[in-house]
Amino acid sequence: MNIKPQKQTEFQPGRGYSKEDWDEVSDNPPWTEEEMKNARPFREVFPEMAEKMEKPIAARGRPKVEAPKVAVTLRLDPDVLDRFKASGKDWRSRMAEELRKAAGL
C-alpha cells in the first residue's frame, strides 16, 4: 500500500525544524510551467563553480585498481562452503587464495 504524506500548511513545533526555517521555506512557491521550461543545468549556469566542484566529487570513493575483482555465481557443495565459512570472517579471500594455488597462479 502506497500512502502519501499529507502536505503541512502550518508550522508544527517538535518536528525537527524551527519556525524560522518553516517561514523561510513556506515563502518559496512551486515553480510555474514557464520557469520549468526556462530552467538550465547548474553546469551551464555556473561553469566555473561546477568545475571547482568536479574534482572533489570525483575523488570520492575507493581508488581505482588495475585488476578489479569480478563477481561470479558459483555453485558449491555445502560441506566445502561450510568449511571455508567456519575459518572466519575473511573466508572469501581464503577461498580465492586456495583457488589461485590450485590454478598455479
What pLDDT band is residue 38 in, cutting at 50, 70 and 90? very high
For residues 94, 99, 101 and 104, what is the CA-based torsion angle, rounded to 10 degrees? -160
Assessment of whether the complete model's pTM goes beyond 0.75: no
Per-residue model confidence (pLDDT) at position 26 = 66
What is the extent of the structural domain holding 45? 22-58
Residue 1 resides in a domain: no
Count of domains in the chain? Answer: 1
Residue 84 resides in a domain: no
Per-residue model confidence (pLDDT) at position 96 = 92
Which residue did the predictor score with more confidence, 79 or 26? 79
Residue 44 resides in a domain: yes
> 91, 85 in Cβ contact below 8 A?
yes
Percent of the chain past pLDDT 70, that is, above it, reads: 91
- pLDDT, average across residues 82-105: 92
User: What distance in Å separates the CA atoms of residue 105 and residue 99, rounded to the nearest whole number?
Assistant: 9
